[in-house]
Amino acid sequence: MAATTAFKGAKNSRWRRFVLKPFVFVQFFFGIGLLAIALKQFRRKNTHPAQSPELIAKDWEILYYRIIPFRAISRAWGWLTNCHLPVWARQPLLGLYARTFNCNLEEAMDGNLDNYSCLAEFFRRKLKNGVRPIDPASTVVAPSDGTVLNFGRVTAGMMEQVKGVSYSLGEFLGPAYWRNGPEVQPAGQTELEYEKSLLVNKDNDLFHCVIYLAPGDYHCFHSPVDWTVNFRRHFPGALLSVNPSIAKWVAGLFSLNERAVYVGRWKHGFFSMTPVGATNVGSIRVYADEKLRTNCTKWALPLPYYDRYMGPTESDSDEIPLHKGEIFGEFNLGSTIVLIFEAPKDFEFKIRPGEKIRMGQSLHSTGSSVKQEPAAH
């Protein structure tokens, strides 16, 4: 008995020494780091006006922020939201979520909360036919419900994340070799040269639009135009929050996060649509791309990005033709959609930053040269 007790004591001692103490130290320094960031941001907001460059996170602050195990947290959240709920718990729990995030149950195809076996099913709820009409007069429509973070013309290879905070087109999309097969990106290529290399018609310009999906929004995303997808690039990346308050703080946030860049052609040339992952949104599902696997461990996906060609010459895949308004994929919870596309120079958006939009709503002025043409299908 004494020997057994001594063995257990030694085992517990080793466990405390090699496991518990390092964990406590990590927690301590992690907490100190977050406290330092919070205090610094508090001082900035009380010293500098809104959108001041002083409000943008420094490299060391982003480093501390990225220490948080968001990927593990997101997988744990995914497990929790997929846990089966007993029928008696569905109305109170799902009802609380619906009230907290202003979910409109009248729009849901199934408005009875008792029929959703878990929270994840409720996240991915489908809508009734007709509650999201597709604007017939518009060529470019909103791909999802959400809030407009920013939009506009791509300038010298840079895009505005939110007002006053920009990020690089090249860093977001990666090397532009999807048209001609693998090749090395030209050494010393500037951001402007990268931007111009994407244009099919050199008389056009590049435009972008960022839409944030809140937890209460409809979580499926649809095709905003008639186009054909022939390439996908998956960046495993991080899973930082994409809440607008974080987007104002972390420059290049969307280039840091996990994302699936889908590239193809529409009637005016280059078109890309990118669902971006976020904290608790590790799962991005694209219905026509079953090979996409998101929120995996770094051991499973160690490379910076993974490419998949979808051209007609590929043996295991085909191009994905998509019609305007056609369902494309879904998030678990909410996240962000980034559109980058080529259009005539007179293309004009008719949305505002901070505006709530709904899937199928027109994003542009139909008086420009970008107007809906009679469908050929």
- Helix, coil or strand: residue 196: helix
Q: Token pair for residue 354?
A: 């901070």
Catalytic positions are: 145, 222, 335
CA atoms within 13 A on the CB side of 157: 17
Q: Helix 59-67 vs helix 21-47: angle between axes, to the nearest 10 degrees? A: 140
Of 40, 43, 77, nearest in space to 62 by CA: 40
| Dihedral sign computed on CA atoms, order 49, 52, 56, 61 | negative
d(CA 342, CA 267): 9
Of 233, 332, 231, 341, nearest in space to 277 by CA: 332
DSSP 248: T
Distance in angstroms between the alpha carbons of the first and the last residue of the chain: 82
Q: Token pair 């085992």 is at which residue?
A: 11
Task: Please tell me the total number of residues recorded for the chain in this structure.
Answer: 377
Residue 86 Cα distances to 22, 89, 97, 103, 110, angstroms? 39, 6, 16, 21, 18
Any bridge partners for residue 297, and if so which? none
